[in-house]
Amino acid sequence: EAGVAQSPRYKIIEKRQSVAFWCNPISGHATLYWYQQILGQGPKLLIQFQNNGVVDDSQLPKDRFSAERLKGVDSTLKIQPAKLEDSAVYLCASSFGGQGYEQYFGPGTRLTVT
């Protein structure tokens, strides 16, 4: 069974530029999550989708971050404009359901903002 796919793996941009990340979850997984992991910290949830609807985006900085999950499968996360403090690893995870189901993580996208 294929795991969670993410691209790109690495991205370097200058501040104020925009960037987009892509995630393809495990087939059949209805729930998709985007987490931000700053170096030395645990991941922090940015947004959660159930199929193509948003369940939780309370910690998403909506003035600069946006995400969508069209057709309830793939998802993209965008940052526009990027700030230095956005440098982090962006992790995508998927699970069969919501509460209580284990989440399977992709390899992440390491973003460096200079």
Partner 1 sequence: AQKVTQAQTEISVVEKEDVTLDCVYETRDTTYYLFWYKQPPSGELVFLIRRNSFDEQNEISGRYSWNFQKSTSSFNFTITASQVVDSAVYFCALSLYNQGGKLIFGQGTELSVKP
CB 21 within 8 Å of CB 76: yes
First to last CA, the chain: 37
Stretch of residues binding partner 1 (CB under 8 A), selected from 11-19, 20-28, 43-51, 78-86? 43-51
Q: Which two tokens stand for residue 20?
A: 């987009």
State yes or no: residue 38 binds partner 1 (CB under 8 A): no
Footprint of partner 1 on residues 54-113 (CB under 8 A)? 55-56, 89, 91, 93, 95, 97-108, 110
Closest CB 40 distance from partner 1, rounded Å: 8
State yes or no: residue 25 binds partner 1 (CB under 8 A): no
State yes or no: residue 41 binds partner 1 (CB under 8 A): yes
Give CA separation, 54 vs 4, 11, 34, 98, 102, in Å: 19, 26, 11, 12, 19
Q: Please identify which residue in the block is written with the tokens 């992991």.
A: 37
State yes or no: residue 43 binds partner 1 (CB under 8 A): yes
CB 103 within 8 Å of CB 95: yes
Tell me which residues touch partner 1 (CB under 8 A): 31, 33, 35, 40-45, 48, 50, 55-56, 89, 91, 93, 95, 97-108, 110
